[in-house]
Structure 1
Amino acid sequence: MKKILLLLVFIYISKLTIAQKEINLNYQEVDHKIIHFGFTIGFNTMDFGINSSLAPYGADSTVLIPELNNLSPGFHVSVVSSLRLTDNFDFRFLPGISLGQRNILFYNQNKIVEKEMNIESTFIDLPFLIKYKADRIKNYRPYLIGGVNIRNDMARNKEFNDDEGIYIKLKPFDIYYEVGFGLDFYLAYFKLSTEVKYSVGTRNVVSS
């Protein structure tokens, strides 16, 4: 009798242990929605790819060489609109705003800083992206993303002004290629994602 009782206790404990190891799949319905919405909040850094023309500057014909000084953190917020194409592909449209700043130093030919300029940007973003989702792994799902982003800088420098430190005039419009990767976390009532994305502009944004 004792052996039977011990056997029943062992079976009960084994089943309890297995049940504890089983993981419930959270928020499964989101994977079957044709359209769903959300929002993103993130941080960014902005820079320039600078090619100096070595053209003389000012009345004394000084040649100044611009160089990006450092990367400053910026802020980004957007609305997520996602259209399900297949089990593994989504089309995404994420209109939003990106705020950032770039600091440029102007060196003379003796490597001495002559001027400094802070360029602040407020971009209206209109990205069109394709998201490839790997198969779901319990409550996680890695993904890749890529596409184009149409951007308009609302805070661009409109006129040169030496007194105010405006030595570069920028064009407002640019088209960016974007690629990235991320991981979806399925929680009980919503899905949380972390993402790293790289964007590169395609046009010369310096205005003469």
Structure 2
Amino acid sequence: MRRKAITIIFAIVLIALMSPGVHAQRLKVRNLPAYDLAPYHFGFILGMNQMLFSIRTTPGFQNVTYSSLQTPDLYSDSARLLGLEHKPAFGFTIGIVSNLRLAESFDLRFVPSLSFGERDLEYSIITNFEGERDQILVNKKMQSTFVEFPLHIKYKGSRLNNVRPYWLAGAKYAIDLASDSKKKEENNNIYVALNRSDLYGELGAGFDFYTTFFKFGIELKMSYGLSDILKREGNIYTGAVDRLNSKLFLLSFTFE
């Protein structure tokens, strides 16, 4: 449901940006009329994010049997994986905006940020212990603290009164400070580890609102990781995954 809600919001923003009805508004006094003529300006962002995974499983993974050495936290003689799902959660993002004017309709933006969030992987497993079979759910939590370095080209539509739509496209390099493949196992608990760094492609859209003293923006952006980020440990939690990519939706508010 959360993924559907984000998709619906994203579609509404795009439709609103392209709607011809916006041009029917009456003209008003323009705030900050020379703002977009400045060669550069700065600001900050506050946002709410949703971190997700894109999972591609290995064909025939349900037929693979794992020994007790590969499943020490299940207390079973053997186990098989039936299914794997990801559970997204909401987090928050803060960042600093640096904007360079390239042309009338184009800007170059660098927005170093910190993003905090959590993603879970939920495993459906059949265990076999001393001849008795049981089906259980195992949840592996992965908290992330990303240091992000995004670089975007911003295309600005025509300004109408004190509102201006825009679109973004670019990429970012991100480092997950909370990811650690060398975590020690405690009480036979297996940690699912992720790679620390990744490169993302990004697309977004939003509106800039010109107030009396500053420019306020609302932006919706999607980031898709280009690398397989899962650390393979040869256990039931990583053996069934052929590829694991990171995704991020960000609804942010900019103050410039």
Same fold (TM over 0.5): yes
1:159 aligns with 2:182: yes
Q: Which amino acid aligns with 1:139?
A: N
Q: Which runs of 5+ in 2 are unaligned?
A: 1-25, 128-133, 233-256
1:66 aligns with 2:81: no
Q: 1:166 to 1:33 in 2, by over 3 A?
A: farther
Matches for 1:74-113 after TM superposition, within 5 Å: 74-109=91-126, 112-113=135-136
Q: Is the 8 A contact 2:125 2:138 kept in 1?
A: no
- Which residue matches 2:160? 137
Aligned residues, how many?
Answer: 187
Which stretch shows the higher mean deviation, 58-67 or 31-40?
58-67
Deviating beyond 6 angstroms after TM superposition, the runs of 4 or more aligned structure 1 residues are none
- Which residue matches 2:146? 123
Cα displacement (A) at 1:166: 4.0
Q: 1:22 to 1:138 in 2, by over 3 A?
A: closer
| Greater relative CO, 1 or 2 (CA 8 Å, sep 6+) | 2
Q: Which runs of 5+ in 1 are unaligned?
A: 1-20
Q: Deviations over 1:157-186 (max 9, x none)?
A: 323636374431110010011001000000
Q: Deviations over 1:95-117 (max 9, x none)?
A: 01000101221112599434211
Q: Is the 8 A contact 2:27 2:161 kept in 1?
A: no
Picking from 20, 23, 33, the partner of 2:28 is 23
Q: Which amino acid aligns with 2:97?
A: V
Distance 2:153 2:32 in 1: 22
Cα displacement (A) at 1:77: 0.5
Picking from 182, 196, 201, the partner of 1:172 is 196
Matches for 1:5-44 after TM superposition, within 5 Å: 23-44=28-49
Q: 1:22 to 1:179 in 2, by over 3 A?
A: closer
Rg larger for: 1
Q: Is the 8 A contact 1:116 1:165 kept in 2?
A: no
Q: Deviations over 1:21-78 (max 9, x none)?
A: 752100122111101000000000001112234353426342234311x321100001
Q: Secondary structure at the match of 1:104?
A: strand
C-alpha RMSD of matched pairs (Å): 2.0
Q: Is the 8 A contact 2:157 2:165 kept in 1?
A: yes
With the length of structure 2 as denominator, give the TM-score of the two structures: 0.68
Q: 1:128 to 1:156 in 2, by over 3 A?
A: same
Q: Which amino acid aligns with 1:201?
A: G
Distance 1:164 1:75 in 2: 32
- Which residue matches 1:192? 216
